[in-house]
Chain A
Amino acid sequence: MLEPADQTAPLIRARGLTKRFGSFTAVDEIDFDVAPGEAFGFLGPNGAGKTSTMRMIGTVSPATAGELSIFGLDPRQDGASIRARLGVVPQADTLDTELSVIENLLVFGRYFGLSWAESRRRATELLDFVQLTERSKDRVEPLSGGMKRRLVIARALINEPSLLLLDEPTTGLDPQARHLVWDRLYRLKQRGVTLCLTTHYMDEAEQLCDRLVVMDCAKIVAHGSPRELIEKYVSREVLELRFRRAEGETDDSAHLDGQLEGLAERVEQLPDRVLVYTSDGEAVAAAAYERGLRPSSVLVRRSTLEDVFLRLTGRSLVE
C-alpha cells in the first residue's frame, strides 16, 4: 500500500524529529505536517537545521530520534520506494559535468527505472518546461547559474514526483532567474505537486509558501501562513525613521530616549535607524513630529516576513 488510505492524511509527518552529529544537535525534536498539494517552507538563518531536516525527508540521512513518515511510509524501511516518488533539488547543483544537458536527465530517468525511450520523451518535455531546449546538447559547465538551477529542477521532475523537495532553490541567482524559477514552481504547484522548500529569502517564502515554519538553533520557533505570522509577531505597518547624526554623536538614537514611548506597540533601535511597529505608521509619524522629533527621513511600509524573521531569530550574524 503506497497511497495513504486517507487523502487528507499528511504527506509528511514528523514528531520529535531529531538529528545529531556527535554531540552537535542539528535538529532538535521538531514536529510538523505537510498536507498534499501545499507549498511548505522551512525558513531560518544558516545553520538552523533546515538542510538536515530536508535530507531526512529525502531519506538520505537517517533520523537520530523521533518519528518521520513520508507518503505514510517509514524512511528506514522504504527509503527506495519513497525516493521513487520524490523530486530533490539539492543546495549544490550536483550535475554531472562529463555529460551533456539532456544526458544529465536521461541518466536520472534510468536511475528511476524508466526506459531510454520514456526518459528521452520526458527529458525533451522538461527541457522545454525549463526553457533549456536550445542547450540540450551542450556541456553543463558553461551554463549560467540560473540555467544550471533550472536543469536541476528538470532533473528532479524526471520521475513525475508528487512531492518536490527544494533546498534553497534560488540562492545565488539574479532577479530574472529567480522569477523564472518561481514561475515554474508555481506552475508545478498548480498541477498538484506538493512543494517543500527551505529558504532564507523572505520574499521567496511570501511568494511561494502557503504555510511555513521558522527554524532557529535546531528548533521550530513559529509556524503558520506568511500572513498569520506577520499578524502574530509584528504589527501591520512599520515606520522607519532616520535621524541626521549630530556632531560628535556616536549613537544617533541616544536623544530619543523615551520620546517615542507610548506611541507604538514596539520600538526597535538600530545603529542607522529606528523601527516603530504600529498599525498606523502615518499617525505615529505625525505624533512623533508633534513631540518635536525631526527625523531626516520617514518611511512607512507594510510589515514583511523579514520583520517576523528578524524578530524571531535576532539580528546578530549567525556563522
Chain B
Amino acid sequence: MRVFETDLVVFRRSWHSYLISGLSQPFLYLVSMGIGLGVYVNRNGGLPGGVSYIDYVAPALLVTQAMMAAAAESAWPIMGKIEWDKTYIAALNTPVRVGDLLVGDLIWIGFRATLLSVLFLVVILALGAAASPLVLLAVPVAILTALAFAAPIMAFTATQKGDAGFNALFRFGITPLFLFSGTFFPIEKLPEVVQPLAWVTPLYHGVAVARSLSLGEVDPIGWAVHIGALLACFVAGFAVARITFRRRMVV
C-alpha cells in the first residue's frame, strides 16, 4: 500500500494532464471510429441485430485503452524503478519486501485503469453510445483486463536488461492485439488459422464481455468463461512476476 502511495505522490503533480488526455482520447476515438467510420458501416444495413457501429466499438475501445495504458505502465516505468533510477532497490532497504513492490504497483496500475475507464465511460454516456445501463460494469471488466496484462508484462520486465525488448513486445504483441482482438470487427472475420490466437489473448475476453454488457445481452455462461480467462491470466502472470521479481532483486 505504501508503494502505491509513492505513485500517488508523483500523480499529484500531473493529474490534470491525465484528466485532459483521459477525456480527449476517447472523444477523438469515438468520433472518428464510431461516428466517422460508422457512417459507412451503418449504410450497409448496420451490424447484425441493427447495432450501430459506435455502440459496437465504444465498449471495446474502453477496455482496449485501459489495457494499452496498463501495458505501457508495466514496461518502462517498472524498468526505471528496477534499473535506471533503482528506486525499487532503495525501497528494499526498508521493511518493504519484494512482494510489496509488485502488489503496490499493480494497485497503482489498477487505479490508473479505473480512472481512464471512468473517464471513457463519461464520454460514452455523453455521446449516447451505450444501449444498456450494464455498460457501467464495463469499468470493472476494463480494470481486470488491464491487470491481466499488467501482471505478465511486469513479470517480463523483470527479466529484461534494457528497454529493447519492449519495442518488440509492443510491435509484435500489444499493437496487433489492439487491432485484431475483436475491437473493430468480430474475430470470426479473421482467417480461421489465427482465430484460436485471439482466443488465448486476454484482450479478446475483456472486449467480448464489455461489449455484451454494453449492448445489453445477457449471457452469464459466456461472461463467466471470459472473466475466468482474464482471472487466470492475471493469477498466472502474478505468480510468474513474483518469481522473476525475486530473481532479479534478491541476489
Which A residues lie at the B interface, using CB under 8 A?
A: 21, 58, 60-62, 79-81, 83-84, 86, 88, 90, 92, 94-99, 103, 106-108, 110-113, 155-156, 159
Contact of B93 among A58, A97, A98, A99 (CB under 8 A): A58
The answer on a CB contact under 8 Å between A106 and B9 is yes
Contact of A92 among B86, B95, B251 (CB under 8 A): B86
Instruction: Please report the C-alpha to C-alpha distance between residue A98 and residue B91 in the assembled complex, in whole angstroms.
Output: 15
A90-B89, A97-B85 as given contacts; A84 in contact with B6, CB under 8 Å: no
The answer on a CB contact under 8 Å between A98 and B95 is no
The answer on a CB contact under 8 Å between A98 and B10 is yes
The answer on a CB contact under 8 Å between B92 and A60 is yes
A60-B250, A106-B9 as given contacts; A111 in contact with B91, CB under 8 Å: yes
B97 within 8 A of A: yes
B217 within 8 A of A: no
- Shortest beta-carbon distance, B247 to chain A, in Å? 12
B51 within 8 A of A: no
Sample 29 A-B pairs with CB under 8 A, ordered by A number. A21-B251, A60-B92, A80-B95, A81-B95, A83-B93, A83-B95, A84-B95, A86-B93, A90-B86, A90-B89, A90-B90, A92-B86, A92-B89, A94-B89, A95-B85, A95-B90, A98-B85, A99-B6, A99-B9, A99-B10, A106-B9, A107-B2, A107-B5, A110-B5, A110-B6, A111-B91, A111-B95, A155-B90, A159-B94
Query: For B86, what are the chain A residues with a Cβ–Cβ distance below 8 Å?
Result: 90, 92, 94
Instruction: Please report the C-alpha to C-alpha distance between residue A110 and residue B250 in the assembled complex, in whole angstroms.
Output: 22
A96-B87, A103-B9 as given contacts; A108 in contact with B94, CB under 8 Å: yes
- Shortest beta-carbon distance, A205 to chain B, in Å? 23
10 tightest CB-CB pairs across the interface, nearest first? A94-B90, A111-B94, A88-B93, A94-B86, A80-B95, A98-B10, A110-B2, A96-B87, A107-B6, A84-B95
CB-based nearest A residue for B14: A98
Instruction: Please report the C-alpha to C-alpha distance between residue A92 and residue B90 in the assembled complex, in whole angstroms.
Output: 9
Instruction: Please report the C-alpha to C-alpha distance between residue A156 and residue B249 in the assembled complex, in whole angstroms.
Output: 20
- Number of residue pairs across A and B with beta carbons under 8 Å? 71
Instruction: Please report the C-alpha to C-alpha distance between residue A171 and residue B3 in the assembled complex, in whole angstroms.
Output: 30
Query: For A62, what are the chain B residues with a Cβ–Cβ distance below 8 Å?
Result: 250
CB-based nearest B residue for A80: B95
Query: For B94, what are the chain A residues with a Cβ–Cβ distance below 8 Å?
Result: 83-84, 108, 111-112, 159
Label chain B's interface by main secondary structure.
Answer: helix
> Chain B CB within 10 Å — which of A62, A107, A113 has the most?
A107
Query: For A96, what are the chain B residues with a Cβ–Cβ distance below 8 Å?
Result: 6, 10, 85, 87, 90
CB-based nearest B residue for A159: B94
Instruction: Please report the C-alpha to C-alpha distance between residue A79 and residue B3 in the assembled complex, in whole angstroms.
Output: 18
Instruction: Please report the C-alpha to C-alpha distance between residue A103 and residue B87 in the assembled complex, in whole angstroms.
Output: 13
The answer on a CB contact under 8 Å between B95 and A94 is no
CB-based nearest B residue for A52: B251
Query: For A61, what are the chain B residues with a Cβ–Cβ distance below 8 Å?
Result: 250-251
The answer on a CB contact under 8 Å between B2 and A111 is yes
A92-B86, A94-B85, A95-B85 as given contacts; A60 in contact with B93, CB under 8 Å: yes
CB-based nearest B residue for A96: B87
Encode B173-208 as 1/0 by CB contact (under 8 A) with A.
000000000000000000000000000000000000
Instruction: Please report the C-alpha to C-alpha distance between residue A83 and residue B249 in the assembled complex, in whole angstroms.
Output: 16
Query: For A98, what are the chain B residues with a Cβ–Cβ distance below 8 Å?
Result: 10, 13, 85
B96 within 8 A of A: yes
CB-based nearest B residue for A62: B250
CB-based nearest A residue for B12: A103
Query: For A110, what are the chain B residues with a Cβ–Cβ distance below 8 Å?
Result: 2, 5-6
Instruction: Please report the C-alpha to C-alpha distance between residue A111 and residue B87 in the assembled complex, in whole angstroms.
Output: 12
